[in-house]
Amino acid sequence: MSTTISIPFSYYNAFSTSITHQQRNPSLKIPKTTQASASKTLSLSLNDDTCKQGSLEEAFESFTASLSDRSASCQVYPDEVYAQVLELCATNEALLQGRQIHAHVMKSSTGLDSVFMDSKLVFMYGKCGSLSDAEKVFEQMHERTVFTWSAMVGTYIWNGEPLGAIEMYGRMRALGALLDSYIFSSVLKACGAVQDVRCGAEIHGLVIKCGFDSILFVANALIAMYAKCYDVDMARKLFDRMHSKGDVVSWNPIITSYSATGQSTEALRLFREMQMTGVRASTFTFVAALQACEDISFRKLGADIHAAILKSGQSRHVYVANALLAMYFRFGLVEEAVEIFDKLDGKDDVTWNSMLAGFIQNDLYDDALQFFYNLQDAGLSPDYVSITDIIVASGRFGCLLNGKELHAYAIRRGFDSSIQLVNSLIDMYAKCCCMSYAGRAFDKMPDKDFISWTTVIAGYANNNCNVEALRSFRKLQMEGMQVNSLMLGSILQVCRRLYSLSQVKEIHGFTIRKGLSDLMLLNTILDAYGDCGSINYATCMFESVKHKDVVSWTSMISSYVQNGLANEAFEVLNLMINSGIEPDSITLVSILSAAASLSALKKGKEIHGFIIRRDFIVEGSISNSLVDMYARCGTLENAYKVFTCTKIENLVLYTTMIHAYGMHGRGKEAVKLFVRMMDHGQIPDHVTFLVVLYACSHSGLVEEGKRILKIMKRECQLEPWPEHYACLVDLLGRANCLEEAYQFVKSMPIKPTAEIWCALLRACLVHSNKELGEVAARKLLDLDPDSPGNYVLISNGFASSGRWKDVEAVRLRMKTTRLHKNPGCSWIEIGNKVHSFIARDKSHPESDEIYQQLAQITGTLEREGDYVAQTKFVFHNVKEEEKVQMLYGHSERLAIAYGILRTPKGTPIRITKNLRICEDCHTFCRLVSKFYDRELTVRDASRFHHFEAGVCSCGDFW
C-alpha cells in the first residue's frame, strides 16, 4: 500500500469529476466560436453522470457561449473559460480533446494570460499521461510561476518518473525559484518512490526551515517518505509528534511501514488505536492491516478486521477483497477464501491470480489446476502471472503433461521470452524428473540470470545428473557469474553422491577465499566431508563453526554414525545438550541409529525417554527409528510395541518391522506382517520385498520365498534387483538345494553379480559341495577381485578341505593387492559405557580378570556340558593346541566373560559382533545360557541369536 500525496484540485481550481476511460463513448460537436476562423469538431468522451459543475457536454456549451458573448454585462474572461475546459479534459484524461483546446488557445492568444494558460496546459498534459507534451510547453515558457513548477513536478509523479521530479526540484533550487508546500509534498513522494532517504532527509530539513512541517499534508508526505524508505523509526517519531491525527492519511503510511517490515503486532496495535480515536479506515488502511496478519496465530485479529470491513461497507472493494483472500490463504482457511471469491462481483486479474497462488501456497495443486481450467472456461485469458503460477503448480504436483501444455500455451502467447517464466518452466521440468526438457529450455534462453543457472544446476543435482550439474557449474564460472551458497549446496550434493572428497575440498577452499560464512553452507560442507568418509575434515569443519545451530550438531553426529564411530556420536550429543542446544527430530533419528549400531539398549531407552519427556510425536521417522533401534538392540518385543502404538502406519514402518522379524529369525511372523501390510492397502517397494526375502532366507522358508518373488514380478510389476536374486539363491543354498540354486543363477534374466555368486559359494562351503564351490569362487574373483571378504571366504573353503597351498596362494594374493581381513570384534554395554573386544585382545584394563573368568567358564562347560572345541572351524595351518587357543580367544567369548564378571547373576547379556558367529562359538553360547542361567543375545553380521536354557532361536540354522 502506498499513500498518495498529490496536489489537490482546489489548488488548481480544477473540476473533481472522475470519468473512466472505458466509459467515454459519445462524441460532441462544438459550434463555431467568435475567435476561431473555422468550426472545430471535438470528439469528446463522457459518461452518463455529470460533474459537480456540469457534464462534459455542458462544459463545452458553456465554453462556446462564453467565447461568443462579448457583452459588457458578461464578466467572463477567455483564459478562465479555457482553464475550466482544460481542467475537465485533465480530469477525463482526454488527451485528444485537450490538444484541440491547446490549438484554440494558440489561435486565440490575444488577451490571454500566457503564463497562466501554459501552466494549465502543463497540468492537463501531465494528467493525460503525455509527459513529452508537458515538457515541450514547460521548456518554451519564458516565465514560470510556482504553479508552473508544481504542475511540472506533479507531471513526473503522475507519469511514474520520480527521478524526473527530483531533477526538476533541483532545477528550481538552482534557479532560486519559489518553493511552496505542494512542491515539497510532491518531491517527498518522489523520494519515497525511489527510496532515496538521503535526499528526502535534506528536503525534510528545508521543510522545517521554511516552516511547512506543521502543514498536515506535508507532515503526511514526510511520514510516507520515511516509511517507504524503511526508516520506520523516523516515520514513527514524526507520527508521534503530530498534534492532530484525525486524518486517515496520517495513519496509513505508518501502519503500512510496520506491516511491510514484518512488525505485525505494532501495525495491528496502531490500527486498533486509530479505530479507538474515531478515524474512519480507508481501503489502504484495511489492506495494510490484513497484510499484517501473517499467520494462523493472527486468526482472531483477522476475523475482527474482516468484521470491521463488513461494517464499513468496503468488503466488495476489489483491493480489500484481494487482501482478504491472501490473508485467509495464509491462515490455510481455503473455504473462507473461496467464499469471498464467489461473492465478489468486480474480480480483477489480481483476484484470479491470488486464488491460484493461494491454492499452490496450501499445496492444493490439483485444485489450482482445476481453477486454472475454470478460468479459461469463463472466457478469461490467463495473464503472465497466472501462467507462471500454474506452471509452478504443475511442477509440484508432478504433472508433466499439464506442464508441457502450459509451455506450449506460453509460447503461443509470447510469454516464453520472459526470464521468470522460463525459470519456472525449468523448475517444473526438473521436479517432473524430465531434465532433458529442462536443459533444452535453459539452453534456448537468450538471456540467463542468476536464478536460471541456480535452477538448472539444482535440477541436475536433484535428478542425479551429476556430470551435467558439474559441467553447468563450470560453465557458469567461466562466464563470470556470481556463485552463492544455494548453488554451492547443489554442487556439494553431487559431490556427496560421487564421494568426491577432492571436489568438496575445492568448494571449501572457494568459500574461504570468497568469505562465504553462511551457516547453512558450512553445515552442508560438514555433511559432505562426513558422507565422503573424511571424519577428520568433518571434525575440523565442525570446530571452525563459531555459532553452531542444531543442524551443525546433528551433522557432526550423523557423520560419526555414518563412519562407524557411534561412541563419538554420543559424546557430541552430550556436548550439544550441555551447550544448551535442544536436539530436534533429525538429531534423535541420527542418535537412535548410533544406539542401534552399538546394540546399546540402555542408551536407546534413554533417548526414547527423552522423546517422550520432550513431547515429540512418535510418528514418521522417529517411530521408524525406534522400531529399528529396539530390533537391533535385541528386544523384538519393544520394537513391536512401538510399531503397534504408532497411529499412522506407513510403508517404511512396515518394512522396518518386517526386517526386525527377519533379523531375529522370525520368518513366519515377517511373512504374515507382509500379507497384512498388503491387505491394508500398502504397496510394497523394492526394499520391502528385499527384507521379506531376507527373513525367509534366515528361517528356511523356501516356498514362501519363491512365492514372494512371484508376487513382486507379477502382481506389483517390479523388476527384481540383483539383491533380490541373491536372497533367493541364499535361501535355496541354506536349505541345501544347491543344484536348484545353481540352475536359478543360470536362468536369471540379469547377469549374476558378485553378491549372487558369494551367496552360492557360502552355501557350498556349509554343505561341502567342492565342485560347485570352485565354480562360484572363480566367478566371484572375476567379478569382485578387490573385496577382502571374498578372499577370506575362498581361503576358508580351501582350508576346510586341507588345501593349505591354495590357502597360502590366496593369502599371498591378498597381501600383494594390499587387502586386509577385518578382525573379529565384539562389544557389550555395561553400565553407561560400551566395551569393545577383538580376537585374543588384551588391551582392556581388566584383561587379566576377563581371561581368568573365561578360563573358569570354559572349564565349567567342559566338565558339565561336555564341551569340546571344534577345531575344524579354525582355518589356519597350525597345531591342534594352537587352534584350541585361537577358538578360546574369539572376541564374543571375551565379551561374554566380561558380562558375567560385571553384571549380577541372572542379568541378560547382549553382545554385538561384526562378523558371522562361528559354529563352535554358537555351541559355546548355548552352553553358557544353560549352565550360567543367563539369557544371552548375540547379534552377528547377519542376524540375532537368542540363547536361553541351552537353545538358540535360530534352531541352529543361520
Per DSSP, the residues of 406-466 read: HHHHHHHHTGGG-HHHHHHHHHHHHHTT-HHHHHHHHHT-SS--HHHHHHHHHHHHHTT-H
Phi–psi pair at 114, nearest 5 degrees: -65, -40
Query: At residue 291, does pLDDT exceed 70?
Result: yes
Which band of pLDDT confidence, cut at 50, 70 and 90, is reported for residue 44?
A: very low
pLDDT, average across residues 466-495: 92
Q: Is the pLDDT of residue 50 over 80?
A: no
Residue 358: CA count within 13 A, CB half-sphere: 26
pLDDT tens digits, one per residue of 53-96: 445 566 666 666 665 654 434 444 567 778 888 888 888 888 88
Report the pLDDT value the prediction gives residue 30, as an integer from 0 to 100.
32
Long-range contacts of 671-674 (CB under 8 A, 24+ apart): 671/695, 671/696, 671/701, 671/704, 671/708, 674/708
Question: Mean of the per-residue pLDDT values for the chain?
Answer: 87
pLDDT of 653 strictly over 60:
yes
CA distance to 361, 763, 801, 918, per residue, from 774 (Å): 63, 12, 12, 22
Query: Which residues have a Cβ under 8 Å from the Cβ of 598 and sit 6 or more positions away?
Result: 566, 567, 827, 829, 834, 912
pLDDT, tens only, 702-729? 999 999 999 999 999 999 999 999 999 9
Q: pLDDT tens digits, residue range 491-501? A: 999 999 999 99
Banded model confidence at residue 793, pLDDT cuts 50, 70, 90: confident
CB contact set of 860 (below 8 Å; sequence gap of 6+): 931, 932
For 554, 675, 814, 917, the CA distances from 523, given in Å and listed in that order, are 9, 42, 39, 40
- When mean pLDDT is compared across 45-54, 379-388, 510-519, the lowest value belongs to 45-54
**Lowest-pLDDT choice from 99-108, 114-123, 559-568:** 99-108
Half-sphere exposure of 183 (CA within 13 A, CB side): 25
Three cell numbers, residue 707: 512365492
pLDDT at residue 507 greater than cutoff 80: yes
The answer to whether residues 758 and 791 touch, using CB atoms and an 8 Å cutoff, is no
Q: Are strands 41-42 and 833-838 parallel, antiparallel or unpaired?
A: unpaired
What pLDDT does 113 receive? 67
Question: 867: which residues sit within 8 A by CB, 6+ positions away?
Answer: 858, 861, 923, 924, 927
Confidence of residue 262 (pLDDT cuts 50, 70, 90): confident
Of the ranges 426-430, 513-517, 783-787, the best mean pLDDT one: 426-430
Q: Assess contact for 483 and 453: CB atoms under 8 A.
A: no
Give the contacts of 264 (CB within 8 A, at least 6 positions apart): 258, 292, 293, 294, 298
φ/ψ region of 828 (left if φ > 0, alpha if ψ in -120 to 50, else beta) reads: beta
Q: Please give the model's pTM, rounded to 2 decimal places.
A: 0.69
CA separation, residue 701 to residues 516, 687, 760, 833, 869 (Å) = 57, 19, 17, 38, 31
| Cβ neighbours around 539 below 10 Å, total | 18
Identify the pLDDT of residue 510: 92
Q: Answer yes or no: is pLDDT of 131 > 50.
A: yes
Instruction: Find the mean pLDDT for residues 577-594.
Output: 95
Q: Is the pLDDT of residue 248 over 50?
A: yes
pLDDT for the residue 484: 87
pLDDT given at position 471: 94
Cell (9 digits) for 89:
479534459
- Please check whether residue 606 is in contact with residue 591, taking contact to mean a CB–CB distance below 8 angstroms: no
What is the Cα–Cα distance from 728 to 748, expressed in whole angstroms? 11
- At 714, which amino acid appears? R
Set of cell numbers at residue 640: 513391536
Task: Please tell me the predicted confidence (pLDDT) of residue 804.
Answer: 84
3-class secondary-structure state, position 248: helix
Are 128 and 53 in contact by the 8 Å Cβ rule? The answer is: no
Distance from the Cα of residue 905 to its chain's centroid: 54
Residue 440: pLDDT band with limits 50, 70, 90: very high
pLDDT over threshold 70, residue 782: yes
SS3 527: helix
CA 790 to CA 782: how far, in whole Å?
11
What order of strands is seen across the sheet that includes strand 833-838?
Answer: 833-838, 825-830, 909-913, 936-939, 944-948, 951-952
pLDDT at 860: 96
Instruction: Give yes or no for a contact between 28 and 56, defined as CB atoms under 8 angstroms apart.
Output: yes
The answer to whether 362 and 338 are in contact (CB under 8 A) is no
pLDDT at 109: 66
Please say if the pLDDT value at position 39 is more than 50.
no
Q: Which of 127, 181, 184 is nearest to 151 (CA)?
A: 127
Closest CA to 435 of 486, 488, 472: 472
- At 605, the amino acid letter reads K
Query: Nearest 5°: CA angle at 115, between 110 and 120?
Result: 100
